[in-house]
Structures are given as C-alpha cells and as structure tokens.
C-alpha cells in the first residue's frame, strides 16, 4: 500500500468537490435537505439503480409526506407503493423505524448519530449518509462505491469484507471531509464511484482526481483490479 500523503488527500478533496459542483446529477432527493426524504432515498437505493428509484421515491413522498403519515399508514399501502422495488423487508423496516421516530423523537429524524443508528433497518452506511447529507455532520458513509474509489486512489489492497478494512476506510473519509462540506463531499464520493470510477472500464481519462491516483500511477495501462467483494 502506498503511503497516503497530505498533498494527495488535499488534492483529492478539493478536486472532487469542484467536479461535483459542476457535474452532479439533478436527483429529486437532492432538492431537499429534509432528513426523512434523504433517509427514504438511501433505503430505496440499497441494491437498486438510481433510474429505477426516482419514480418510486416521488410517489412515496407524495403519499407519505411526513414521518407521521408513514407511521400511521396501513402496511399494505406501504408495500403497494414499494411493489416492483423488491427486498420488501426494507419497506417494513422503514415503517417500523418511522414509528420509532414518532414515539421517541416527536416525529423528527434526530440530529444524533447514535439515535439514527438505533433505528430499525439503518446500518452504518445509511447512518453516515443521513447524518452527513441531511445534517452536514462529518460522518463517513462508506459503501461499495466509496470503497472502490478509495481502494484505487490510495492503492489500498486489503480485503474490503474485513471489518478492519471498513474501519480504515471510515477513518480515511473522516480525514478527507473538508470542514463544513460533509454533505457535498460524501455525495461527491458516491457520484464519482457511480459515474466515473465504475467497477468495470472506469473512465480514468475524465476522472477529476486522476493526476494523483495511486492505482493509475501503479498501472497506467490498465485500471487496478477491484478489491475482493467490492461490487
């Protein structure tokens, strides 16, 4: 593994945010800073493509504009709106968690990492996404996309299925988040993995952080392999 230099980290954060400002997709959940809507989008996006999620998200927030509305709805109504997205446990967990928020937090998603992490169906990644995107807290949101980007850029060759590797990645993201820019930075990191640093045939020549990418410099003729289980 190549040692991560301070210059390499600063360059990454600065160029990534500049790129995101110019190139970010106009997605419906990005038009709000409503923590509930951001939470819904993150649950829907688990194992589901963005293009598929957009119409479901729009219909869902139209029917359930508040946490109370979701908490009080018949379960069959919730599942009906989820029909076609699959992984129905996500919808059931989301409604259970909405009831938790009504009972414990007055119907408002709490600006508290531990409280969000305690909600049904909200794992470490979703917790980080909600806290950073909705509340601009400097929390890491590390998923497969983010792991792939960081593995390539910093030439991290550890097995990403290991807990120690995830902890390393989360610590690295904490270092990389510029002060006051957590929401944009984490979304930029996800966007780079989704649009540029893709699992197969990454678009290295259009990558905003190509110049200091350790993976590219180590293997300039071909992108570095995706680490174990990075998909």
The H or E element containing residue 53 is: helix 50-63
Out of 42, 75, 157, 179, the active site residue is: 42
Are the beta carbons of 151 and 226 closer than 8 angstroms? yes
**C-alpha to C-alpha distance for 160 and 148, rounded to whole angstroms:** 9
**C-alpha to C-alpha distance for 34 and 98, rounded to whole angstroms:** 14
**79 φ, ψ to 5°?**
-65, -35
Q: Residue holding tokens 């893709």?
A: 198
Local structure of residue 205 (DSSP, 8 states): G
pLDDT digit string (tens) for 24-43? 999 999 998 899 999 999 99
Domains and CATH numbers, the chain: 6-25+139-218 (1.10.1670.10), 28-135 (1.10.340.30)
Q: Distances in Å between the alpha carbon of 109 and those of 57, 138, 207? A: 18, 17, 35
Radius of gyration for the alpha carbons in the chain, expressed in angstroms and rounded: 18
pLDDT digit string (tens) for 209-230? 999 999 998 876 555 555 544 4
Whole-number pLDDT of residue 229? 43
Count other C-beta atoms under 10 Å from residue 96's C-beta.
14
Q: Give yes or no: 175 in active site.
A: no
Q: Residue holding tokens 């988040």?
A: 177
Per-residue pLDDT of the chain (231 residues; tens, 9 = 90+): 444 588 999 999 999 999 999 999 999 999 988 999 999 999 999 989 999 999 999 999 999 999 999 999 999 999 999 999 999 999 999 999 999 999 999 999 999 999 999 999 999 999 999 999 999 999 999 998 999 999 999 999 898 888 899 999 999 999 999 999 999 999 999 999 999 999 999 999 999 999 999 999 887 655 555 554 443
- Shortest CA distance to 227 belongs to which of 162, 139, 175, 134? 162
């Amino acid at each position: 593994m190549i040692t991560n230099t301070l210059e390499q980290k600063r360059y990454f954060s600065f160029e990534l945010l500049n790129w995101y400002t110019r190139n970010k997709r106009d997605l419906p959940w990005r038009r709000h800073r409503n923590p509930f809507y951001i939470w819904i989008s993150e649950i829907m996006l688990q194992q589901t493509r963005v293009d598929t999620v957009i119409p479901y998200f729009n219909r869902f927030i139209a029917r359930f504009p508040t946490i109370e509305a979701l908490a009080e709805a018949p379960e069959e109504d919730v599942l009906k709106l989820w029909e076609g997205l699959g992984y129905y446990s996500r919808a059931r967990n989301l409604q259970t968690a909405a009831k938790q928020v009504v009972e414990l937090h007055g119907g408002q998603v709490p600006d508290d990492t531990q409280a969000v992490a305690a909600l049904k169906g909200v794992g470490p990644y979703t917790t980080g996404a909600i806290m950073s995107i909705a509340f601009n807290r400097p929390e890491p949101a590390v998923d497969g996309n983010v792991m792939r980007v960081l593995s390539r850029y910093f030439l991290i060759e550890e097995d990403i299925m290991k807990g120690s590797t995830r902890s390393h990645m989360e610590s690295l993201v904490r270092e990389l988040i510029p002060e006051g820019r957590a929401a944009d930075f984490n979304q930029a990191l996800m966007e780079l993995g989704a649009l540029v640093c893709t699992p197969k045939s990454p678009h290295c020549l259009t990558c905003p952080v190509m110049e200091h990418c350790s993976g590219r410099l180590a293997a300039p003729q071909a992108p570095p392999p995706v680490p174990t289980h990075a998909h």
